[in-house]
Chains A and B, each alone.
Chain A
Amino acid sequence: AQTVTQSQPEMSVQEAETVTLSCTYDTSESNYYLFWYKQPPSRQMILVIRQEAYKQQNATENRFSVNFQKAAKSFSLKISDSQLGDTAMYFCAFGETSGSRLTFGEGTQLTVNP
């Protein structure tokens, strides 16, 4: 079974600075998908960024980028120019193939301070 581990229960960062959230996973599959979801106080789950394992290039979405290290089974999220609205719980998730379940980590609570 796949497992996803987020070793940082809480993190904080000053507004406009950069922060990196860590995620590691365990799988025997060669092709899969990785995601970062954001859950603000409203509890809505918002897809932040996704990465296909067969792609070597790291995904980027505006201020959000990932560092995908397939051999190390590591998938970290970097948030640049942090904004107050980035305050949320961030979940790393693993998906085996299209149309399959997602396995989530336990989350990292990020607080952006003014």
Chain B
Amino acid sequence: NAGVMQNPRHLVRRRGQEARLRCSPMKGHSHVYWYRQLPEEGLKFMVYLQKENIIDESGMPKERFSAEFPKEGPSILRIQQVVRGDSAAYFCASSRFGSYEQYFGPGTRLTVT
């Protein structure tokens, strides 16, 4: 049973470009969460999605960031017009409906130059 998959593992973008991070949840999991980890810090919640629905986006920056989890395909975290401060590791986690356990992917390390 494959775990949570994220790609790419490493992404380099110049300031002003767009970054697209993908997350495929574990089989049978319908909930997806995105977290951001800045250097030397813990993980901070960004957004919680179910298929075709954003449930909680209270941790998302108001501008430039968006997330989706379509009926088919992976969840996408999109960052428009990236800035140096967006450089971080972005983790996706998934869980089953009604479960409190979240399983994490390997993360995408975004570097903005």
Which residue numbers of A lie inside 8 Å of B, CB to CB? Answer: 33, 37, 42-47, 50, 52, 91, 95, 97-107
Q: Is the CB of A44 within 8 A of B100?
A: no
Expressed in whole angstroms, the Cα–Cα distance for A104 and B91 within the complex equals: 13
Nearest chain B CB to A31's CB is how many angstroms away? 10
Name the residue of chain B whose CB is nearest to the CB of A45.
B104
Q: Which of A42, A91, A98, A99 is the most central at the interface, judged by chain B CB atoms within 10 Å of its CB? A: A99
Query: Could you tell me how many residues of chain B have their Cβ less than 8 Å away from some Cβ of chain A?
Result: 27
Most A CB contacts (10 A, CB to CB) among B44, B55, B100 go to B100
- Cβ contact of B42, chosen from A43, A52, A91, A97, cutoff 8 A: A91
Q: A43 touches which one: B48, B56, B107 (CB < 8 A)?
A: B107
Are B45 and A106 in touch, CB under 8 angstroms? no
- Given A43-B89, A43-B106, A45-B91, does the pair A102, B45 have CB atoms closer than 8 Å? yes
Q: Are B42 and A106 in contact (CB under 8 A)?
A: yes
